[in-house]
Structure 1
Amino acid sequence: MKAETNLLNQSLQLPNGSVLRNRLAKASMSETLGTYDNRPTLGLVELYRRWAASGLGLIITGNVMIDRRALGEPGNVVIEDEKDLPVLRQWAKVATDQGAAIWVQLNHPGKQSTKGLNASNLAPSAVPFREDMAAFFETPREATVAEIQDIIERFGRSAAICKKAGFSGVEIHGAHGYLINQFLSPHHNRREDEWGGTPEKRRRFVLAIYAEIRRQVGADFPVGIKLNSADFQRGGFTEEESMETIRALIDAGIDLIEISGGTYEAPAMSGAMHEPKKGSTVAREAYFLEFAAKVRANVQVPLMVTGGFRTAAGMNEALRSGSLDVVGLARLLAIDPDAPAALLKGSDSNQQVRPINTGIKAVDRMGIMEVLWYTGQLKRIAKGGEPRPNESGFWAFLKAAFGSGWGAFRTRRLRAGS
């Protein structure tokens, strides 16, 4: 494929006037490369140096939390004050100096945090996980109105610090079963006050977060959101509600919407529910392209779709269809961090994303290795090494289980001593 006919090389202007140099984006992945007291490290600088050198137009960081009391995993980076500005500035600069835009994904896990990591977990309502996951995740407590307001303000403050550090923008994580998604979902949000009870009230939380971020960063700083097309869970967030939420966010001024889907309890984002049956059509190569086409038919906003893309031809066909504007890559970049350089030349990566299984049914059913195995690959790149695409899922699970348990212990000890 010639470079001049490769649509991946086209630039994209966002509603606020900022420009992405091309249509390839690195989507968020769990890194857990922070310290056990949740500070950024030079490993993140090395990892993002490697990705930025590959030619990506947009790089979105892994989960960055807004509150040290609310972690999703040990090793999460938390931005709630300015004490880590020197390292944050290095992290941002290593990408922007190479021409890439780098956005920080801001998140709050809500109930979706393993037992023992936090003193307690909150959610819109005290709804437990399904029975087979109750051993790993405790039933949350219902958030108070004061806590809701505090979380909204924290999102804004974290975004302002990101701007000060030199990041190019922020992405609100409103998908995959985390707190914002929980507020949007009638399954998780059973409140009857101003924060729940109707689709309009369930949307109030995410709109308030966007408004607070915009208030603190101004009109020229890009703000995007990752949003589920649906939760794929009985009684959860539906495509119809997602479309209405998108309309409301566009009216509020959002700059880019990344479409995904699923939760920890129904992990569609890992591909388990959307494995393509044939590689012959782009609709089957990208998991959420059909919903993106519905969005594009109704509203105009830059759209990013992540999940399922494998080939330069498939990515180009998706862009040519007009259903999306940015192609998001995640797991491929954990096993081939240089893949964008090939794709921008019209060639495919030599690596293929594959299902990761341990042989332990309870573990494999949760799709947890789709996070843990790839996180291990990122840690190798962060140390200046190379990923191991053929690493055993079982051994990766054993290492991750030990590391997670030790990390949770160290996190609690450090918090208790602070």
Structure 2
Amino acid sequence: MTVTLASDLQSPCGAVLPNRLAKAAMTEGLATPDGRPTPALERLYGIWSDGGAGLLLSGNIIIDKDHLERPGNVVIESEPDADMKARLARWAKAATRNGNHFWAQISHGGRQTQKLVNPHPKSSSDVQLALPGGQFAKPTPLTKDEIAALVKRWAVAAKACMDAGFTGVQVHGAHGYLVSQFLSPRVNLRTDEYGGSLENRARFLLEIVTAVREAVGPDFPVSVKLNSADFQKGGFDFGDSLQVVQWLEAATVDLIEISGGTYEQPKLMGVEGVEAEEPQNVAPSTAAREAYFVDFARAMQAEVSVPLMVTGGFRTRAAMEQALQSGAADVIGLGRPLCVDTDAPKALLDGKQGLARYEDDLDLLPSWLGFLRRFQIVKAVSGFAGIYWFYQQIWLLGHEGRTDRGFPVFKAFRLVDARNKRIMKERRAL
């Protein structure tokens, strides 16, 4: 039977995705200063539910208010109160109004928490993020008691989301956030049972998955987002990733999303990192490629049977269907296109051949100032300014139900930065 974008997918736990397209997790920044869902989140996810994807993944739902991925994250640190339960339920109802799945991505920023949020972050070790600009402080290693407490928080958050009407959860183990920090031998310098060998470095993730599964039961989808590699010298590499995927399959995970990179090497966003990309021992496709991680997923599929989702770079229907039919992916993740073309999944299912690549036209600097990109700080700011343009589109969708393709990049950068600072100021006043 030929697999198409419209084919359904039954997960190991029995849940069925109605098609093979997913809205990948993207940070929203639309929660209240104290981390509660808002009508803006309901409006945003209702629009995305109308867009036709079989699966929507939330942005980071954080389990520690002092380790936000960004200001405006939803936060579930403990058993939610009545108001929080009602807000989560309204969000889940809006996000599933067209019969699609809505999974909560649960995360912790670790050392990738800005000083604006926390000048004293925790991580696996005391290795500071190597980014220019001084936005991230040197972290303190977590104690074993703190690790155990965080594992419980993941389980509490997962149960709270299930009770609210979310139809699955995803543990964020990629992109340099806390779980990824434990997995990386470059960042994790511990000498106890959570450091050293890959088995030890993966212990935190596997304990989280076990605790989450116990909290939600055997019939509820549990997924993991995992780096195919960090693409950094001395970091988590493809061989490590393949082994962890095999362990996750044994731990009854229902879907693994393959991604890659960290803030230092933002491979997923197509932004140039602060160091040369470390090559991986994976054979490249002979066909023209647009998807960043499809070759890693194809190599993994030869070793495991757990369904894989691949996110990053997909824009043409042909590449998506090739990935599905070759067995490289079971689910196609779409991110940035849905910040503007919210009905892109429905259009693809109806036969549309490709999606716009808006990021190609976003640049903070005019061409005549291009020489400034040789400076690391300018290169980093310019790359992230383009990302902030997508943040602004999400803000417009949530608050006004519209997008603005002509919105200036520099204005978006200033507005998002100002909002982040205002949210933190309001939070500190609570």
Q: Same fold (TM over 0.5)?
A: yes
Using the aligned pairs only, state the percent identity: 45
| Post-superposition offset of 1:281 | 7.2
- Residue 279 of structure 2: aligned partner: none
**Which structure 2 residues correspond to residues 89-238 of structure 1 after superposition, within 5 A?**
89-118=89-118, 120-130=120-130, 132-133=132-133, 135-238=134-237
Q: Which amino acid aligns with 1:11?
A: D
Alignment of 1:312-391 (within 5 A): 312-348=317-353, 351-355=356-360, 356-359=362-365, 361=373, 362-365=377-380, 367-391=383-407
Equivalent residue for 2:301? 296
CA contact (8 A) 1:6 1:346 kept: no
8 A contact 1:339–1:349 mirrored in 2: no
Looking at structure 1, the residues matched to 75 and 319 of structure 2 have their Cα atoms a distance apart, in angstroms, of 36
**Cα displacement (A) at 1:82:** 1.8
Q: Do the aligned residues in 1 keep the contact of 2:315 with 2:356 (CA within 8 Å)?
A: no
2:416 counterpart residue number: 400
How much does 1:368 deviate?
2.1
Shift of 1:146: 0.8
Between the two proteins, the alignment pairs up a number of residues equal to 406
SS in 2 for 1:387: coil
Alpha-carbon deviations, 1:308-347, whole Å to 9, x = none?
1111122111111111100000000001111111101111
Summarize the alignment of residues 35-46 of structure 1 with structure 2, pairs less than 5 Å apart.
35-46=32-43
CA contact (8 A) 1:159 1:217 kept: yes
Q: In the alignment, which of 314, 317, 341 is matched to residue 309 of structure 1? A: 314
Q: For residues 6-45 of structure 1, what are the structure 2 equivalents within 5 Å?
A: 7-45=4-42
Change (3 A) 1:64 1:5: same
Provide the C-alpha distance between the structure 2 equivalents of 1:232 and 1:350, rounded to a whole number of angstroms: 27
Q: State how far apart, in whole Å, the 2-side matches of 1:186 and 1:411 are.
A: 35
- How far apart, CA to CA, are the structure 1 residues paired with 2:126 and 2:429? 27
Question: In structure 2, what is the Cα distance between the partners aligned to 1:211 and 1:6?
Answer: 31
Q: Which range moves more in the overlay, 190-199 or 69-78?
A: 69-78
Q: Deviations over 1:169-225 (max 9, x none)?
A: 000100000000000001110000011011110000000000000111111110001
Q: Does structure 2 retain, via aligned residues, the 8 Å contact 1:282–1:317?
A: no
Is contact 1:58–1:100 with CA below 8 Å preserved after alignment? yes
Name the counterpart of 2:368. Answer: none
Q: Aligned partners of 1:286 and 1:50: how far apart in 2?
A: 25
Q: Distance in 2 between matches of 1:389 and 1:171?
A: 31
Distance 1:210 1:220 in 2: 14
Q: How many Å separate the matches in 2 of 1:349 and 1:388?
A: 20
Consecutive unaligned residues of structure 2, counting only runs of 5 or more, are: 274-284, 366-371
* 1:70 to partner: Cα distance: 2.0
Q: Deviations over 1:381-403 (max 9, x none)?
A: 11233212232222211112222
Cα distance in 1 between the residues matched to 2:103 and 2:379: 31
What is the CA distance between 1:357 and its match in structure 2?
A: 2.6
Larger mean CA deviation between 177-186 and 283-292 belongs to 283-292
C-alpha distance in 1, partners of 2:31/2:321?
Answer: 35
Counterparts in 2 of 1:241-280, with a 5 A limit?
241-272=240-271
- Deviation (angstroms), 1:232: 1.0
Q: Equivalents in 1 of 2:386, 2:173: separation in Å?
A: 19
Offset, 1:235: 1.3
Q: Distance in 2 between matches of 1:330 and 1:43?
A: 19
Counterpart for residue 75 of structure 1: 72
- Amino acid paired to 2:423: G
CA distance in structure 2 between the partners assigned to 1:25 and 1:406 by the alignment = 32
SS in 2 for 1:379: helix
**CA deviation after TM superposition for structure 1 residue 369, in Å:** 2.8
- Could you tell me how far apart the structure 1 residues matched to 2:325 and 2:220 are? 28
2:278 equivalent in structure 1 = none
Please give the alpha-carbon distance, in whole angstroms, between the structure 2 residues aligned to 1:294 and 1:249.
Answer: 16
CA contact (8 A) 1:283 1:290 kept: no
Residue from 43, 48, 60 that aligns with 2:45: 48
- Maintained 8 Å contact 2:46/2:96: no
TM-score (norm 2): 0.90
TM-score, normalised with respect to structure 1: 0.93
Instruction: Determine the C-alpha separation between the residues in 2 that align with 1:146 and 1:136.
Output: 28
Whether contact under 8 Å (2:66, 2:117) holds in the other structure is no
> Structure 1 unaligned runs (5+)?
275-279
Q: CA 1:104/1:347 → structure 2, altered by over 3 Å: closer, same or farther?
A: same
The answer to whether the 8 A contact 2:58-2:104 is kept is yes
What is the RMSD of the two structures over their aligned residues, measured on CA atoms? 2.0
- Amino acid in the other structure paired with 2:380: R
Deviation, 1:119, is 5.6
2:59 — aligned with what? Answer: 62
Structure 1 residue 351 displacement after superposition: 3.2
CA distance in 1 between counterparts of 2:161 and 2:143 reads 27
Q: 1:363 offset after TM fit, Å?
A: 4.8
Once the two structures are overlaid, the 10-residue window that deviates more, 261-270 or 363-372, is 363-372
Q: What residue number does 1:277 align with?
A: none
Cα distance in 2, alignment partners of residues 307 and 180 from structure 1 = 20
| Cα contact 1:111–1:139 (8 A) shared by 2 | yes
